[in-house]
Copies of this chain bind each other. A is one copy, B any other.
Amino acid sequence: MVNQGGSSQTSTGLRVCAVDPGLTRCGIAVVDIAANRKARLVDVVVVGSPSTDPIGDRLAIIDATMDDWLAKYQPDHLAVERMFAQHNTPTIMGTAQASGVAIAAAARKNIPAALLTPSEVKAAVTGSGSADKKQITAMVTRILGLATPPKPADAADAIAIAIAHAWRGGLFGRGLDTGKLTSPAKASKFSSRQGQGHLTAAQQLWLAAERRAK
């Protein structure tokens, strides 16, 4: 077992490995987030394969990279984008398969997984659940204190997922998947910071996404 719980790399913070799943482009980022919410990029990569490759080979790349990175960086949590069948793009099934492989790779190392909707991620880093790719990249660059946007370009989404997870509760041992969707009702029970019964913008977006998924 490589992960001893708590925070392996930052004394009071959290090391998050986040995955923006996909077969053609799978973003994998490792970010340290301190207790004061300050974020530092540890590493980021985009792996993938052409759609003409056998599905086994395509998933194997993600499986092997995750195995390697989780061993190397020993994150406290994995954070992955939660998908809904309603997204219904031609690639949604492959994206779900890729996310399953990433989550299973983490589970083999006892690293718990958090699932976040795209709207939650956008809301957490930009304040708007409908932010576009450019806004996310701009905010991620600013949050990390980088002089230029992170490379490769697709990496920003994975980084945003890591930051959103930590900011949203991961730093305080919350926000991990417990099988059911972490509903706003459940989240507000734990989030005394935000006052009981109050929904943040992110939680409202989550609720909407959850409703759409039903």
Contacts and interface: CB of A to CB of B under 8 A. Distances in A.
A88 B85 contact: yes
A96 interface: yes
A207 to B, nearest CB: 16
A176 B101 contact: no
Contact of A100 (B54, B88, B96, B108): B96
Interface string A52-65: 11111111101100
Which 8 A/B pairs are nearest by Cβ-Cβ distance? A97-B100, A96-B96, A56-B107, A100-B100, A60-B107, A59-B104, A52-B179, A63-B104
A87 B92 CA distance: 12
A106 B86 CA distance: 29
Interface of A: 50-60, 62-63, 78, 83-90, 92-93, 96-101, 103-104, 106-108, 111-113, 115, 176-180, 213-214
A51 B179 contact: yes
Copies in the complex: 2
8 contacts: A52-B180, A54-B176, A58-B179, A59-B104, A59-B107, A84-B93, A85-B87, A100-B101
Nearest to A91: B85
Given A85-B92, A96-B93, A55 B101 contact: no
B106 A179 contact: no
A86 B87 CA distance: 11
A179 B177 CA distance: 31
A50 B111 CA distance: 20
Contact of A53 (B92, B176, B179, B213): B179
Contact of A104 (B87, B104, B179): B104
Contacts of A85: 85, 87-89, 92-93
